[in-house]
Amino acid sequence: MAFEVLAEDSKSRARRARLHTTHGAVETPVFMPVGTQATVKSLSPDEVHALGARIILGNTYHLSLRPGAERIARLGGLHAFMAWPGAILTDSGGFQVFSLATIRTIDEDGVTFQSHIDGSRHRITPESCMEIQELLGSDIAMCLDECTPYPASREYAQASMERTVRWARRCRDAHKREDQMLFAIVQGGVFQDLRRACVEALAAMDFPGYAVGSLAVGEPKDVMLDVLEAVVPNLPHDKPRYLMGVGMPEDLVEGVWRGIDMFDCVVPTRNARNGMVFTPWGALQIKHSCYADDSKPIDANCSCYTCRTFSRAYLRHLFVAKELLVYRLLSLHNLHYFLTLMESIRDALVRGCFEAFRREFYAQRSGSEPIAD
């Protein structure tokens, strides 16, 4: 398990790297499809792998409640359970737990919360968080952190950040699985000095990787980017940097520009289930009546199965009729778009032309759909 930087951009903090995991190498910058409940919704593992994904996300909170980490361990671990051949990152469950603001309580030792499934009471501590993720057998585990909401007072953000640091130390001490990397999570809200203080404390513990948490939680986009500008230069250069829960295509480009290596988000598959599909010139809502007689694919230049095979008219028909097939077809296209975008970014970094790529990316998005020949 190692991380090697292969190329660095001369105009930004962007870099091309490779993360070696127990289940294979992951080329970065990378977008990780989200498989919350041991599945990337509506798609088979073979389909996700064929799209080019080599690492996906699993959710500790959901999997620990159902079907249970012990059961998954008895069945061979998460990789075998879901028949996924690549790497898996499991988040700590902290975001889900802390989003249950009305049915959870936080203390120094951990968090007590009610299950969203049946209302049963559960408790998670840094030590039990490590135990669950070791049972799941993911390649990368995340420390339990306290997710700072937006807006939050400076006093709250500081107390939350300091607790996150203390929990990170406990996670590090409890973590025993040698074939699993453990990433720490930088907190501190939108307060840049608190973020830098958190980085300093976590870096001293020498984790294999570092994530930036509690961004894209309601703060203005420019604030998010300002926080990244303050945080990323202080993170260890020789460790992967992960921006959690982000984001839209523009977020990926801007995150890479600022030195982020890893991203995850539910946007490609969740938006697909709501009828939104991504293209180089922007997003389309396939349910709109203007596509009822449109014989074109979503994107004539896209090589995914959906665009090679089906018209917008057919996809709109499926969506309006609520046919299950449409969720798979739109998810295939959206994940193809996101993964291809990251592949293009990696290629531009190797060729030393990421700045030109970024300009062209925005030029396309500010334009209109190309007219077919």
Sheet holding 140-142, edge to edge: 30-32, 262-264, 241-243, 209-212, 181-186, 140-142, 87-91, 55-59
Residue at 42: amino acid letter: S
Selected catalytic residue, list 91, 139, 145, 251: 91
Selected catalytic residue, list 9, 251, 264, 299: 264
Q: CA-CA distance, 307 to 327, in Å (whole number)?
A: 14
DSSP state of 3: E
Cis peptide before 85 (omega within 30 of 0): no
Separation in Å, CA 320 to CA 202, 289, 292, 295, 330:
49, 10, 10, 17, 13
Tell me if residue 264 is catalytic: yes
Cβ–Cβ contacts within 10 Å for residue 169, how many? 16
Beta strands in 79-139, from DSSP E residues, in sequence order = 87-91, 104-106, 111-114, 121-124
Buried/exposed code over 211-228 (b: 16+ C-beta within 10 A; e: otherwise):
bbbbbbbebeeeebbebb
When computed from its CA atoms, the radius of gyration of the chain, rounded to whole angstroms, is 21
| CB contact at 8 A, 228 and 261 | no
Report the Cα 299 to chain-centroid distance in Å. 25
Separation in Å, CA 371 to CA 66, 301, 316:
48, 11, 20
Tokens representing residue 242 in the block:
């992960």
Which residues are CB-contacts of 59 (< 8 A; sequence separation ≥ 6)? 34, 35, 36, 37, 90, 91, 93, 96
Q: CA-CA distance, 299 to 369, in Å (whole number)?
A: 9
Query: 221-231 and 192-203 are packed helices; what angle lies between their axes, rounded to 10 degrees?
Result: 40
| CB contact at 8 A, 333 and 303 | no
Residues with active-site annotation = 91, 264
